[in-house]
Amino acid sequence: MYLRKSKFKNEANLDDVIRLAKNGKGIDKDGYRSEFIRLVKAYNNIN
């Protein structure tokens, strides 16, 4: 979830979310983690 104006956001942005997701992906047996990364990238491209 992208938390706009959240006190928990700090200086994070969508590129940080993508980087963290890629680094933490590990074994993605069902493809859910890859799909999450794909969705965040798609959202980042339309904004």
In a domain, 2, yes or no: no
pLDDT band at 1 (very low <50, low <70, confident <90, very high): low
pTM: 0.78
In a domain, 4, yes or no: no
Number of compact structural domains in the chain: 1
**Torsion, CA 16, CA 18, CA 23, CA 28, rounded to 10:** 160
Q: What is the DSSP string of 1-47?
A: ---TT-TTTTT--HHHHHHHHHHT----TTSHHHHHHHHHHHHHHH-
In a domain, 3, yes or no: no
Q: CA–CA separation, 46 vs 42, rounded Å?
A: 7
Lowest mean pLDDT among 2-11, 18-27, 34-43: 2-11
Q: Is the pLDDT of residue 34 over 90?
A: yes
Tell me the per-residue pLDDT of 14-26, one tens digit each, with 9 for 90 and over.
Answer: 999 999 999 999 9
Q: What's the mean per-residue pLDDT of the chain?
A: 89
Q: Is the pLDDT of residue 30 over 80?
A: yes
In a domain, 6, yes or no: no
Domain that holds residue 20: 14-46
In a domain, 35, yes or no: yes
In a domain, 23, yes or no: yes
